[in-house]
Structure 1
Amino acid sequence: MTIPTAGPTAVCYRHPDRPTALSCTRCGRPACPECLRPAAVGAHCVDCVRDQGTQQVTRPGFGDRGVRPVVARVRTARRPIATYTLIAINVAVFAYTVYAAGSFDVQISAPLLHGELVRGNVILGEYWRLLTAGFLHYSLIHLAVNMVSLYILGRDLEIALGIGRFVMVYMIALFGGSAAVMLLQGNETRSAGASGAIYGLMGAMLVVVLRLRISPAPVLTIIAINLVMSFTIPGISMAAHVGGLIFGAAATAAFIFAPRLLPASGRSESAANIVGWSGAALLLVTAIAISVIVAVTYSGPIMVYIR
């Protein structure tokens, strides 16, 4: 479904100085892109998003005989709870590594050495590293940069996607970054950090602005700058960043664009959710499967980092 358009002289109901051709698919009020949030079908204004968090709503469905009611309970985020929770987890894990190391030189910390992503260790069967590496950091600056990025990207994306979809996109990007590391990095190369998942949020933001028909230039510029840094600055895991970016964008597209492939007669809230979550689940399984397949089929020499 395309977003219904308002009249050519309409203005945003929250920003009277902003002409807009878009409107909320639930209440019909004209709204500018800043005041719209993607929904499983169409886009909703911020007030409808807030109301939907606790109410049952009736939405238009699509059938051969015209519009019919579709009742669904919509769970959206009023506050970026998942974003704050992910930040808290990362900070708590870093605090534990500092405690275990006895100093801020956490690279000698046992939790880091046993949890960072080292391809050779995963080949030997330590599959938990595919997940734990995404919550470990090598320094306070490393942690701070990633958490600030997570806060900036996560607070808006979580409101737009909802808590469940946002967490799913984050985890798919995390495992997608790990899959890229398994495919492209050496057996002894160490990598850790939330940046793979954060690049996934950049990809997610790009998909969201495209869906809302906002100029993607600012997001593309941010992505380009960060990719150039990944390729040029030594010690940065280019594979994890690119893998996270691709999988994060693909997961968001599964939620936002895949339901539009449904025939008009079957395009309902429940059908859209099934299609979106099925596509996201397939991406998650694919990311994990890539890492496992690389590990079990590897037959070369194994060198791991030992300290």
Structure 2
Amino acid sequence: MDQAPGSPQGPDDQGPQPAQSAPVCYRHPGRETGVRCTRCERPICPECMVSASVGFQCPECVRGAAGTGVSPTAARPRTIAGGTVTADPRLITKILIGINIAVFIAVRSSSSLLNDLYLIGEWPPAPFVPTEGVAEGEWYRMFTAMFTHEAPWHIAFNMLSLWWLGGPLEAALGRARYIALYLVSGLAGGALTYLIESPTTASLGASGAIFGLFGATAVLVRRLNYDMRPIIALLVINLIFTFGWSNIAWQAHIGGLVGGLVIGYAMVHAPRERRNLVQYGSCVLFLAVIVGVTLLRTAQLT
């Protein structure tokens, strides 16, 4: 029954309340969030969240506290993974994209340079072929292949993925941890390709590192208790392309994904009191596995 105007309203007689929409990040109005800055109480999304001793803070409050004379640890809280908050949270991502584009331009202007950069185990006996391979001691190919692309569509797809995934991860992990994740994931993809693929098959591209970012993003989303469905759906779509399209080195994708999951988990779940040891120790151990796999395959081919 409706209540007469002016009559007192009891606790159980409240009328229907208007539905309240979820708050959105004040820096990214299109992103709903349930987290607020512990200083200014404005809503912030994962990209803007800076881990503090209690809760999270927004980038403006972190920068504003830097000149207040408070101790550095109190004035400049760390990211969720313990990284240092920076003014440009996408700097390393921009540099990585720039390196990939620069190598792509150089490769397009010199086919001989391409032969020196891509990943290949070994060439069959042919004295007129100058290229050798990882089995002949050219280990640097495991690294250079991560930044080498030949087809325009290939580098376009990888760089778009790097920009989309890399920025939020760099902001969440910090620069040093982010670049460690990227490189270890890329090397893991190269190592698995070298181990399983025919030694005379050439492989190139940043896809292994990109899939590592996918894995780490899934771990981060889970850590923040956000909806996992979008990232899982995107990952499934990419895996369908991986196994359904010819001329794709699925080994690089899977190796990078595993590397991203392992390193990403170590980055965001490391205990605060042993954070650096767990995070960078995991990177070193995973690199040791990569080196072991490379040595094993080289011994099989020589």
What band does the TM-score fall into relative to the shorter chain?
A: 0.7 to 0.9
1:104 corresponding residue in structure 2: none
Aligned residue in 1 for 2:117 = 115
- Over the residues paired in the alignment, what is the CA RMSD in angstroms? 3.3
Identical amino acids, percent of aligned pairs? 31
- Code of the aligned partner of 1:211: R
User: Could you tell me which residue of structure 1 aligns to residue 251 of structure 2?
Assistant: 239
1:97 & 1:20 partners in 2: Cα distance?
A: 44
1:162 aligns with 2:174: yes
Residues 29, 231 of structure 1: alpha-carbon distance in 2 compared, 3 angstrom cutoff: same
Contact between 2:24 and 2:32, CA under 8 Å: does it hold in 1?
no
Q: Distance in 2 between matches of 1:123 and 1:148?
A: 33
Residue of structure 1 equivalent to 2:145: 133
Change (3 A) 1:48 1:168: farther
Q: CA deviation at 1:202?
A: 0.7
Match of 2:267 in 1: 255
TM-fit CA distance, 1:125: 1.4
TM-score, reference length from structure 1 = 0.74
Q: Distance in 2 between the 1:47 and 1:198 partners?
A: 26
Query: Gaps spanning 5+ residues in structure 1: where?
Result: 1-8, 60-71, 101-108, 260-266, 301-307
CA deviations 1:255-274 (Å, max 9, x no partner) are 11132xxxxxxx43xx3223
Stretch of structure 1 that moved more, 172-181 or 26-35: 26-35
1:281 deviates by 2.5
Query: What is aligned with 2:90?
Result: 80
User: Judging changes above 3 Å, is the alpha-carbon distance between structure 1 residues 53 and 137 closer, same or farther for their aligned structure 2 residues?
Assistant: farther
Deviations 1:191-232 (A, max 9, x none): 100111011111111011011000111101111110110001
Equivalent pairs, count: 261
Pairing 1:210–2:222 present:
yes
Contact kept in structure 2, 1:153 and 1:202, CA below 8 Å: yes
Q: In structure 1, what is the equivalent of residue 279 of structure 2?
A: 276
**1:52 to 1:172, Cα distance in 2 relative to 1, 3 A:** farther
Q: In 1, distance between residues paired with 2:216 and 2:40?
A: 26
C-alpha separation in 2, matches of 1:49 and 1:252: 27
Number of the residue aligned with 1:293: 296
1:174 aligns to what? 186
Judge conservation of contact 2:181–2:264 (CA < 8 Å) in 1. yes
Residue 92 of structure 1 corresponds to 102
Change (3 A) 1:210 1:299: same
| Native 8 Å contact 1:174 1:244 kept in 2 | yes
Flag the structure with larger Rg.
2
SS in 2 for 1:119: coil
Q: Which of 61, 73, 81 lines up with 1:57 in the alignment?
A: 73
Instruction: Note the C-alpha offset of 1:183.
Output: 2.0
Gaps spanning 5+ residues in structure 2: where?
Answer: 1-19, 76-81, 123-132
Letter in 1 for 2:93: T
Mapped contact 2:83–2:177 kept (Cα < 8 A) = no
In 1, distance between residues paired with 2:52 and 2:44?
Answer: 19
* Counterparts of 1:237 and 1:77, CA distance in 2: 37
Q: Is 117-126 or 186-195 further displaced after alignment?
A: 117-126
Please give the alpha-carbon distance, in whole angstroms, between the structure 1 residues aligned to 2:275 and 2:204.
35
Q: Is the 8 A contact 1:33 1:212 kept in 2?
A: no
**Could you tell me which amino acid in structure 2 is paired with residue 133 of structure 1?**
A
